[in-house]
Structure 1
Amino acid sequence: MHEFDTVVIGAGVAGLTAARLLAKSGQSVVVLEARDRIGGRVHTDRSGAHATDLGASWIHGITDSPVAEAAAAFGMQTIEFTVGGYQPNSRPIAYYSPNGTRLSDADAARFTDDIHTVDETLLETVAASAPDASYRDVTEAALVAQGWDEDRTQRVREYLEHRAEEQYGAWIEDLAAHGLDDDAIDGDEVVFPGGYDRLPAGLAEGLDIRLSHTVTRVQWSKGGVTVTAADDPTGERIVNAARAIVTVPVGVLRSDDFTFDPPLPEINAAALGRLTMNAFEKIFLRFETAFWDDDVYAIRQQGPDSRWWHSWYDLTPLHGTPTLLTFAAGPAAREIRDWPEDRVVESVLAQLRRLYGARVERPIRVDITAWQNDPFARGSYAYMTLGSTTADHDDLATPIEGVLHLAGEATWTDDPATVTAALLSGHRAACRVLGREIAVAEAWR
């Protein structure tokens, strides 16, 4: 006999959205969460004077965004900050040349015009490329087509490398060309000075959520599912349900610590095999005073010294405390994975000193994420490896015998690796379980 109509594995935004919609439709639902908190990769640190979003930070385009609608419904304050998609010039950006001097407005405009020129050809270049082409392959083809000199080409090449790393957390040669989005963002981007975690908190209200329950096995058949979870501190819990929605990250699904019995069908398993977790970490540096350029959203440097630390975002407007955010992505993130904090900070400050000299201060607080080392994430979000296509996202979410459903950011095609993708995938899973459509807004009404 089933204990529940549906068991949801994972209390991130995908799982909470699905569970809330099902519960509001009259189902008996339990959510099993391995962590001692809800939210998954939406995680706000409140140990300091200000809320710091260690996981998701942005809504990348608020026009017609269900996440923006949910945030408004939950009373979450937002601040416009439209550089999260690594746009070249959507807002004021201070660009620095390879020798560490700031580009004039005219030189910066010429550089960003070059980026737009290459971007205009990329979609056609991707369409004409081989199925197993990398993003490096297609960007190189687009650059060659311009006929520029080597220096001009190299500056744009660097930009494309940095954009790939910052958006996907992977080196450009490891990314599949087919299926990468066109970087279009609809409306302003916003961040949350009060913390993004208020979104999962709102979605979780009233739900039966069991924390510190690490699911290790999902046995399934047409008759239902049996889920085995390790309780904290000891023991096991067996949960029986008519069906399950699994929302754990790709890094966990691919590990030996999570088992489907029987294994996933070929369509789901093949898609999962072409997705992997990235290496992407945030570094927040708070200072006594702002020593950098006034009235800019971001600082970016060019040249060989930009290999790791190339972009800093001025988060001072969020709380009034001078703050820079930078990212370690791809090879940089893997390299610093086990570095002590002081070594990471010194590496970042060395590049800032190239631009600002002795004006650079020691930070008064540092926050460095470690999603690669998190056993319940194993990276920040998923990306498509060579040979992948956008169909892999949907294929991963293919319903299994009407009893097993996969959801989460990696299962949504239109805008994967985002909170929006997580939320909408949870909505889709709930609709499939119910066998009918239900408005996503029911999750926050």
Structure 2
Amino acid sequence: MGEFDTVVVGAGVAGLTAARLLRRAGRSVVVVEARGRVGGRVHTDRTDGRITDLGASWIHGITDSPVAAAASAFGMPTTEFTVGGYQPDSRPIAHYDPSGHRLSPSAAASYVTDIHTVDAALVDVIAASAPRASYLEVTEEVIGRQPWTPERADRVREYFSHRAEEQYGAAIDDLAAHGLDDDAIDGDEVVFPDGYDRLPHHLAEGLDVRLGHVVTRIEWSGAGARVTTAQGIFAAREAIVTLPVGVLQSGDVAFDPELPDEVAAPLSRLRMNSFEKVFLRFPSVFWDDDVYAIRQQGAEGAWWHSWYDLTRLHGEPTLLTFAAGPAAIGTRGWTDDEVADSVMAQLRRLYGDDIPAPTRVDVTAWHDDPFARGSYAYMTLGSTTDDHDALATPIGGVLHLAGEATWTDDPATVTAALLSGHRAAERVLGREIDVTGAWAD
């Protein structure tokens, strides 16, 4: 049995940040990780020399971002790719109407103005919403106030439905009214042409990381914590647990005693989403010039409504779309070819039957990953934004939960994971420490 000051469960960005800071403070730390790699939901595929970020891709706003600071310190090159969340006009977008024809500039401007009208009114409606109100209810209330024709209202209605799906991988009627409160970007967004996984690899340097250690049991008491894996038991004065919400809820890891209500209750109000990436690479570009995104309205866009042009990232014609919410659920179990055929049917509808077939297709499957069980967590009905921080309530002075779902200000991001790891390390040490210690020499 190994004995340490702190055992960290999970070698994602949260766990590695906490471990690195604790080691810098002179503590003995071990990180146990189920996978055969570090990074968790930051995972880059390098098959055939191509670099594809299957998990996290963006820094959503580099202004005052600790992740941007860490990436710079580690010498990770970035490429500006500001998408501004699921916004209607943050960058040039080719909007297509339900019949498959591109909207004229004036029609697109009117459509975007309608969306901004609803967004502006939503602030007060959400603030006054009932505790169990859904994002569907608050958007319907605002749309219902507008003097619009049914068709005009439907275009805006479906936009907000797709926003809920693409931002949080959830159906709009299952997302809490406050579920998009954090939908704001501060500064440019960037992606990593050399892969996002460089970040966790740098964070892991010099740490005692035990890969292939699947945790099955975590015991805690006034005497400390014991973490059980098939390879042995790790004992420590304290434990930092960075398991995703889906894994915490699955029962795959037993807590003894069980998590107290002040942590179990907010955990029960969060849910892991259904959200997968679909990358399609082509021999040539056939879509609109000078746009970063293509979006289609109407019933044909129920699943495949948005495509993002990643060509300039590596110089290979590439479109990214998302199987989000209902689309992810509906295509679960499909082969990559079946998903590609479904996506291509919509692209051919917009651009003609003679467009080239993709030369390569990559489809993620985070929902089927037993160590993730989804891409990230979202607030379901009855949840409040405070539930994120409440999930990190220290337990018995021994257990500390961390990870993207435990950070209120910007959940579902690598920034949230990193900052939650920093907070957990501070709580273990009982004092404030500088987060830059995670990447300083």
Calculate the TM-score normalised by the size of structure 1. 0.97
* Counterpart mapping for 1:239-388 below 5 A: 239-388=234-383
Aligned to 1:18: 18
The letter of the residue matching 2:58 is W
Aligned to 1:88: 88
Aligned to 1:422: 417
CA drift of 1:180 comes to 2.9
CA drift of 1:79 comes to 1.1
Aligned to 2:147: 147
Aligned to 1:395: 390
Matched pairs, number: 440
Q: Matches of 1:191 and 1:359 in 2, distance apart?
A: 32
- Worse-matched range after superposition: 270-279 or 76-85: 76-85
CA drift of 1:223 comes to 1.0
Give 3-state SS (helix, strand or coil) of 1:410's partner.
Answer: helix
Aligned to 2:181: 181
CA drift of 1:401 comes to 1.4
- Worse-matched range after superposition: 37-46 or 77-86: 77-86
Aligned to 2:114: 114
Aligned to 2:190: 190
CA drift of 1:352 comes to 0.3
Q: Matches of 1:27 and 1:180 in 2, distance apart?
A: 38
Q: Matches of 2:362 and 2:84 in 1, distance apart?
A: 19
Q: Matches of 1:29 and 1:143 in 2, distance apart?
A: 53
**Structure 1 moving runs of 4+ over 2 Å:** none
**Partner deviation per Cα, 1:357-387 (whole Å, 9 max, x = no partner):** 0342111111100001000000000111100
The letter of the residue matching 2:426 is C
CA drift of 1:148 comes to 1.3
Give 3-state SS (helix, strand or coil) of 1:7's partner.
Answer: strand
Q: Matches of 2:112 and 2:241 in 1, distance apart?
A: 42
| Inter-CA distance 199–182: structure 2 relative to 1 (3 Å threshold) | closer
- Does the aligned pair in 2 maintain the 1:123–1:182 contact within 8 Å? no
- Does the aligned pair in 1 maintain the 2:422–2:435 contact within 8 Å? yes
Calculate the TM-score normalised by the size of structure 2. 0.98
CA drift of 1:84 comes to 5.2
Q: Matches of 1:103 and 1:309 in 2, distance apart?
A: 18
The letter of the residue matching 2:125 is T
- Does the aligned pair in 1 maintain the 2:135–2:179 contact within 8 Å? no
CA drift of 1:116 comes to 0.9
The letter of the residue matching 2:153 is T
Aligned to 2:430: 435
**Partner deviation per Cα, 1:10-48 (whole Å, 9 max, x = no partner):** 000000000000000100000000000000000000013
CA drift of 1:135 comes to 0.5
Aligned to 1:234: none
Q: Matches of 2:241 and 2:25 in 1, distance apart?
A: 19
The letter of the residue matching 2:353 is A
Q: Matches of 2:354 and 2:92 in 1, distance apart?
A: 22
The letter of the residue matching 1:270 is A
The letter of the residue matching 1:228 is T
Unaligned 5+ runs, structure 2: none
**Partner deviation per Cα, 1:50-70 (whole Å, 9 max, x = no partner):** 210000001111111111111
